[in-house]
Structure formats: structure tokens, C-alpha cells
Amino acid sequence: MAKRKTKFVCQECGYESAKWMGKCPGCHNWNTLVEEMEASSGKGRHIFNVARSAVAQPERITSIESQEEPRITTTMKEFNRVLGGGIVMGSLVLIGGDPGIGKSTLLLQISAQLADKHLPVLYISGEESTRQTKLRADRLGIKSEELYVLSETNLFDISRHVEQIKPSFVVIDSIQTIFKEEVTSAPGSVSQVRECTGELMRLAKINNIPIFIVGHVTKEGAIAGPRMLEHMVDTVLYFEGERHHTYRILRGVKNRFGSTNEMGIFEMKEEGLREVMNPSEIFLEERSHGTSGSTVVASMEGTRPVLVEIQALISPSSFGNPRRMATGVDHNRVSLLMAVLEKRVGLMLQNQDAYIKVAGGVKLDEPAIDLAIAVSIASSFRDNPTRPDDIFIGEVGLTGEIRRVSRIEQRVQEAAKLGFKRVICPKNNLDGWTPPRDIQVIGVQSVQEALDLGIER
């Protein structure tokens, strides 16, 4: 009998080695290599047996006919926008999020909405029994005849049921529980996740069925498994939010059929997730007026402008090394802006503790929020409030200049819709468009000008 070979596979990046090593040479993480049996080259059950009827030939790009991808729309407009207008036929979508955040609830609701349109839907749960799924469906008020529920983890049996039912939509919850018999490693390992995802991708493309797969996340918040998992799928969605808060954010970080960085807001209710059509009002509803350190910025999340409040608290430090803490924005960006304020404006912040927070649990990472952060820091340091009807937009350079930002028209229109009276933005953004009548747009060239205009004395 031939001796079966073993290999060591990194559970983070998929690096393979013939011997065990404490530190992975690929991702430089410690204690991530796990011993696995190499797949035998003998006969095994192949899920897909597609005959190669013809060899593909290269075509001129001008001779290929352009056609728009057909999409399936749900009744959740927020969900449709994150996907770029709806679910594309034959697409493979990966959705990740913390445990208990609501991934299964969201997908079960989407499945029920499609089943109500008389589209057969197959919901496959590898973590729960059919009775447990039924309990969640009763809580959500789901009674769709076209919604089929299956509790299975064997990929061969899953593909067999898909061929029998021929559904229009498939959900796999979750990919870490699915296994392929030909792969000897345990479910959830790098080899199993990689092979199962590849087979599901072929199943989606051959049968033209959209498949949603749920992925577990690591303690750092990234999807567990090899990084190539995100490269294999068509769309990657992250479901974010605090478990003790009712609001959830569905964010698209990769989309082959639409724009990336789109964001949808949902509210967790007892009867399920409810979409929030105007998130700016929610993020600003508890804002206190007349207090220092509070500013509002118009940030772009994909194609949607969202108004959020940025809060800053500057207090004298009791230690030799002052603290710099940031929630919702990059810590290094805060340190950079404080250095600009100290060098270009003359604020002595080197002996001050700084605490920056984006209200509502939103994470902002675009340069246009620089000016709002700088104004909130200066407002808290001087203990002078900003005007409650002001919006600050702009990127701050190292020389203290305010640089141009993108999509200024949409940001200003969103501010005018919510009743703000002034927008302080880069002067270079004022050309080529006409602002709304009921809002004043003021262009500035430096941080000092913005502070003189925005902070009350």
C-alpha cells in the first residue's frame, strides 16, 4: 500500500510546506501551520462532469456583443444598492461578519422575499437543523411555499439537491462547515474552504444560479480562511455593527458588477432587519448643540453621501507621553492632523491627551474628513463650540492647505436637505457647479481660515 503523504498548510494564507515551522514564511504569523493529508490522485467522485464540447477561441473585443447582466431585485432597496442594483444571475457572493450580527437573519429574509416572487430558493444551513431554521422563520413571519430548507454539510449531496430542485437562489451558511470527501482535512481548513468554494463557483456559473456563502471572521475582523477566498468570489460584503446596538451596516468591499464601498443601513428589530432610508438623520439625531469639540462632515460611502458627527475631547495630559485614541478613524491620521495644527496654526497640543470618535459606530477612511477632524480638535482645545448648522469638508495637507475633494455637489445637496446653512469646503471645489439656494458654500484655502470661520469666539 502506498504511503500517504502529509503536508503542513498555513490556516491564514494557505502557504504549504513539507515540514512544520513555527513561523509561516508567507504571512509571518506564528503557529498557523497545521498538518493535513494530501489528496489522493486515485478515483474520486466528481461533482461536475462537464464535457468540453469545444475549445475556446480568442475573439476580437469589437466583435463581442455587449449586454447588461440580468438582475434579481429584492424589496430591500438598501440591499439592492450595495450589490449594484440587484442580484446578478450566476454570481458568487461572500458575506462575512461577527457572530450574532445578523447574517443568517438577513439572508433568510432575502430568501423569503425572492420566494414570495414564486422563485424557488434553497437555504442550506450547516450549523443549524431545519427545526432551528424554522423557529427563526416563524419569528420573522416567513411562510413562503417556494423556500426550501436543507441541513447538510456534504458538498456532493448539496450539489445533488441543487440539480434536483433547480433553485433560482442558493444560500450556504456557512462555508466553514461544508466539506468535500476527496479532501482529507477537517471542515473549515484552508484546503476544504478553497476546494469547496471552487466547486460552488463552478456550480453557480454552469447553472447560472446566484449563490450566497457566509464566511466566519477572525478576531481581527477579516474573513477567516485563505485570502484567495475573497479573490475567487464575485462580490464580498461585510455585515458590521455593535451587537448591543440596533443598527447594522452592510458594506461592499468588492463587486465585479457594481461600485465598491457601497453601504446599506439596517435596523435590527424583533421581527427582523428593517432598512433605513435616510441614515444621516439617525447619525445626527442625538447631537448636542453648543458644546465644543463637535463637528459634522459629509462623507461619501460609495455613491451615497452620509452626514456624521465627529467628536473630539482634548484634555491636559498627566503623563509624559500624551495619549492619542481614535474610534472610527485612522489613529495615524489623527496624529498627522494634530501635528499640522501645532506647526501651522500654533496650537500647543504636545502635552494634551486627544480622544476622537465618530458618532454612530461608522468607520470613515476618506481624506475629505480631515478638515472636520482638525476643526473638532481645535474647538475642544479652545473650548469654543462650532456653529450647529455648519458642515466641514476638505482634505488637509502637511503645509496646512485645504485640498480638493470629490463629489462636492452630492455632499452639499445632502447637507441642504437636512437643514444645514453653511458648508466650509476647499476653494478649488467652487468652480463648475451651482450650489442650492438655501445653503451658503464658503471656500477656504488653509486650516487657519477654516478655524476663523467655523469656531465661535
Selected residue with higher pLDDT from 1 and 197 = 197
**Residues paired with 72 in a beta bridge:** 87
Cα separation, 121 vs 425, whole angstroms = 49
Using DSSP, state whether 239 is helix, strand or coil: strand
Q: Is 99 annotated as a binding residue?
A: yes
DSSP 8-state code for residue 83: T
Cα separation, 31 vs 191, whole angstroms = 17
Q: Is 96 annotated as a binding residue?
A: no
Cα separation, 443 vs 402, whole angstroms = 9
Q: Is 101 annotated as a binding residue?
A: yes
In what helix (H) or strand (E) does residue 350 lie, and over which residues does it extend? none
Our CA dihedral for 419, 456, 361, 405, rounded to 10 degrees, sits at: 70
**Confidence tier at 53 by pLDDT (50, 70, 90):** very low
- How would DSSP label each residue in 242-302? -TTSSEEEEEEEEETTS-SS-EEEEEEETTEEEE-S-HHHHHHTTPPSS-TTEEEEEEEET
| 72-101 pLDDT per residue, tens | 999 999 999 999 999 999 999 999 988 888
Is the Cα torsion angle 431, 436, 440, 441 positive or negative in sign? negative
Cα separation, 131 vs 125, whole angstroms = 11
Cβ atoms 293, 312 nearer than 8 A: yes
Q: How many CB atoms lie within 10 A of CB 132?
A: 14
| 13-49 pLDDT per residue, tens | 778 888 899 999 988 888 888 887 775 554 445 554 4
| 244-277 pLDDT per residue, tens | 678 888 988 899 988 887 888 899 888 899 998 8
Q: Is 400 annotated as a binding residue?
A: no
Q: Is 393 annotated as a binding residue?
A: no
**Chain-centroid distance, C-alpha 218:** 15
Cα separation, 450 vs 197, whole angstroms = 51
Cα separation, 76 vs 84, whole angstroms = 13
Residue 414: the pLDDT is: 92
- The C-alpha angle 34, 38, 42, rounded to 5 degrees, equals 160
What cell does 213 get? 456563502
Nearest residue to 310 via CA among 375, 260, 367: 375
Fold of 282-454: Ribosomal Protein S5; domain 2 (3.30.230)
Cα separation, 29 vs 21, whole angstroms = 10
Q: Is 417 annotated as a binding residue?
A: no
- The C-alpha angle 259, 262, 265, rounded to 5 degrees, equals 155
Cβ atoms 456, 426 nearer than 8 A: no
- The C-alpha angle 73, 175, 205, rounded to 5 degrees, equals 50
Cα separation, 136 vs 367, whole angstroms = 42
Using DSSP, state whether 375 is helix, strand or coil: helix
Q: Is 431 annotated as a binding residue?
A: no
Residue 340: the pLDDT is: 96
* 3-state SS record for 97-156: ECCCCCHHHHHHHHHHHHHCCCCCEEEEECCCCHHHHHHHHHHHCCCCCCEEEECCCEHH
Selected residue with higher pLDDT from 226 and 111 = 111
| 66-75 pLDDT per residue, tens | 777 789 999 9
DSSP 8-state code for residue 157: H
Cα separation, 262 vs 251, whole angstroms = 6
Cα separation, 215 vs 235, whole angstroms = 13
What cell does 201 get? 463557483
Q: Is 102 annotated as a binding residue?
A: yes
Write down the architecture of domain 72-277 according to CATH.
3-Layer(aba) Sandwich (3.40)
| 399-453 pLDDT per residue, tens | 999 999 999 999 999 999 999 999 999 999 999 899 998 899 999 999 999 999 9
One-letter amino acid identity for 354?
A: A
Do 282-454 and 72-277 have the same topology in CATH?
Answer: no
Instruction: Return the domain boundaries, the chain.
Output: 6-37, 72-277, 282-454
N- to C-terminal Cα distance for the chain?
Answer: 87
